[in-house]
Amino acid sequence: MVKDKSDVHEEADGSFLIIEVYDGEHLTPGSGNSKLCRLEGNVLRDDGPPFTLREQLEQLLEIGWKYYGLPNSAEGCFTAFVTQGHTATVAMRIVVKTRRDALSARLFILEGEERALEVASVFPEDDIFKILRKVLRAQKG
């Protein structure tokens, strides 16, 4: 069940996520001139345990891809910040660099943990949300 933006802030546990994407490479969110988009939401299961941060992020990115497709960065590089709304803490920073038919990414999770990833396939029709989902899937493996 996906809540719309007005319902998100009424969640008792405040588990909504904010995904902000900026053109180019950035260390912190807030570069207004380079902001490409902001996606905010909460995804809940009707039955079963709550989604993990990664599962909820993947679900929101899928929704973004289906309904709000956003072209890839003009610079060939973009940074996504994932903030947990109830804490206003950046939980994840993902720096993606695309080149021809491949991309590389650096994933920073909370306490400065960093993982460099190589994702083999990116296509011209892949938008930012789809590319971010590919990065998350590559990080799992």
Q: Is the dihedral angle over the CA atoms 26, 65, 47, 86 positive or is it negative? A: positive
Would you place residue 11 in the very low, low, confident or very high pLDDT band (cuts 50, 70, 90)? very low
- For the chain, give the percent of residues with pLDDT over 70: 80
- Judge whether 70 and 141 are in contact, CB under 8 Å: no
Q: Report pLDDT digits (tens) over 12-34.
A: 345 789 999 999 888 888 866 78
Contact 81, 109 (CB under 8 A): no
Residue 73 has phi, psi (to 5 degrees) of: -60, 140
Grade residue 82 by pLDDT with cuts at 50, 70 and 90: very high
Bridging pattern class, strands 113-119 and 102-109: antiparallel
Report the chain's mean pLDDT, rounded to a whole number: 77
SS3 content of the chain, % helix, strand, coil (to 5): 25, 35, 40
According to the model, what pLDDT value does residue 8 have?
34
Q: Which residue has the higher pLDDT, 75 or 35?
A: 35
Q: Does 81 score more than 90 pLDDT? A: yes
Band (pLDDT 50/70/90 cuts) for residue 7 is very low
Q: What are the tens digits of pLDDT across the range 110-141? A: 766 777 777 667 777 788 888 888 888 887 75
Alpha-carbon gap, residue 7 to 118, rounded angstroms: 37
The closest of 90, 77, 82, 91 to 25, measured between CA atoms, is: 77
> Which pLDDT belongs to residue 69?
72
DSSP letter string, 80-97: EEEEETTTTEEEEEEEEE
* Percent of residues, the chain, with pLDDT higher than 90: 8
- Give, as one character, the DSSP assignment of residue 131: H
